[in-house]
Amino acid sequence: MLNMPHGPPKEGSKARRDSAALPKATTAVCDHDRACGRGFSCDRHFGLCVPLRGEGHYCRRDAQCVRGLSCMFGKCHRSIPNGQEGARCKVDRDCGDSMCCARHHGEQVCKRRLIRSESCFVPDGGLAFSINQICPCDEGLLCRKNGASLQREIDFIYHPERSSWTCQVPKS
């Protein structure tokens, strides 16, 4: 969140710079969205009514974005239909076939399960695991270190492109 504007909406918001003259509602004090009227939401941090934001604009919650957009990763994005890759989820069953519900930049979204030969190493915990997760291997596959025993042999060092842990067909 280091790139979020720190001043009140009237001073630093991208929405402010992009519109020539804003109605007086931007100076209205509020504590919930209904107090602001159509086309506005309540910026609860500053307690001011602000115009709804378009695609690519900063946001903190869905209600700050125009219809059809969702607040994902701090910006307004086109909403993704439920169950599809990239859609918000709470549990695996919220996602379509061959997908799971995993964190991406801290948001829980539907991601596809990993296929054969894809890198699958996951740390035991820590920040890298907490912020960005990957799904397990697809049905019938297991995550194994190439040419090694089932034990993890080294401490985790985050180099996903160099990982020798891949989804494999289990050996009988």
Q: Which domains does the chain have, with CATH numbers?
A: 9-78 (2.10.80), 92-168 (2.10.80.10)
Q: Tally the residues of the chain.
A: 172
pTM for the full predicted model: 0.69
Tokens 């506005």 belong to residue = 40
What is the reported pLDDT for 47?
93
How big is the chain by its Cα radius of gyration, in Å?
Answer: 22
What pLDDT tens digit does each residue of the chain (172 aa) get? 344 454 555 544 444 444 444 444 456 899 999 999 999 999 988 999 999 999 999 999 999 999 999 999 999 999 999 999 999 999 999 999 999 999 998 899 999 999 999 998 877 777 777 788 899 999 999 998 876 544 444 444 455 555 688 999 988 6
Q: How many CB atoms lie within 10 A of CB 58?
A: 19
Running DSSP on this structure, what letter comes out for residue 130?
Answer: H
- The Cα 138–Cα 135 span in angstroms is 8
What is the reported pLDDT for 3?
47
- Mention every residue, 6+ apart, whose C-beta is less than 8 A from residue 75: 56, 57, 58, 59
Please answer whether residues 119 and 163 qualify as being in contact, where contact means their C-beta atoms are separated by less than 8 angstroms: yes
Question: Which burial class, exposed, middle or buried, applies to 63 when counting CB atoms under 10 A from its CB (0-12, 13-18, 19+)?
Answer: middle
- Cα dihedral 63, 66, 69, 75 in deg (nearest 10): -70
